[in-house]
């Protein structure tokens, strides 16, 4: 499988996207290594909020929602 990957340097210091990158490695059927990015913010004991996007969008789409969701999930009143 041919996997195209944008160099990590292209995502460094993006305005409005201060989130640390996290990756999950997946081995494909043909033995290729596929890397899936996810954003992991908020408290560890709070609820999980999963925001999915499709192609060609990416997590930058949620850059303004992530801080609001993180704050709300950390609030004892919750959702």
Q: 6-41: per-residue pLDDT in tens?
A: 899 999 999 999 999 999 999 999 999 999 999 999
Residue 63 has pLDDT above 80, yes or no: yes
Residue 75 has pLDDT above 70, yes or no: no
Task: List the structure tokens of 61.
Answer: 């789409």
* 56 within domain boundaries: yes
Average pLDDT of the chain, as a whole number: 88
Whole-number pLDDT of residue 43? 85
* 54 within domain boundaries: yes
d(Cα 7, Cα 29) in Å, to the nearest integer?
A: 24
Task: List the structure tokens of 13.
Answer: 């210091």
Choose among 20, 19, 13, 23: nearest CA to 67: 19
pTM: 0.75
Q: For residue 47, what is the DSSP state?
A: P
* 2 within domain boundaries: no
* 1 within domain boundaries: no
Side-chain-side CA neighbours of 29 within 13 Å: the count stands at: 0
* 79 within domain boundaries: no
> Domain residues for 25?
8-74
Q: For residue 9, what is the DSSP state?
A: G
Domain total of the chain: 1
Residue 50 has pLDDT above 70, yes or no: yes
């Amino acid at each position: 499988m041919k996997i195209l990957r944008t160099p990590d340097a292209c995502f460094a210091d993006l305005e409005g996207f201060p989130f640390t990158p996290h990756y999950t490695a997946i081995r494909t059927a043909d033995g290729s290594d596929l890397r899936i990015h996810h954003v992991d913010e908020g408290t560890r004991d709070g609820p999980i909020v999963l925001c999915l996007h499709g192609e060609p969008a990416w997590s930058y789409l949620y850059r303004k929602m992530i801080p609001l969701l993180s704050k709300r999930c950390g609030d004892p009143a919750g959702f």
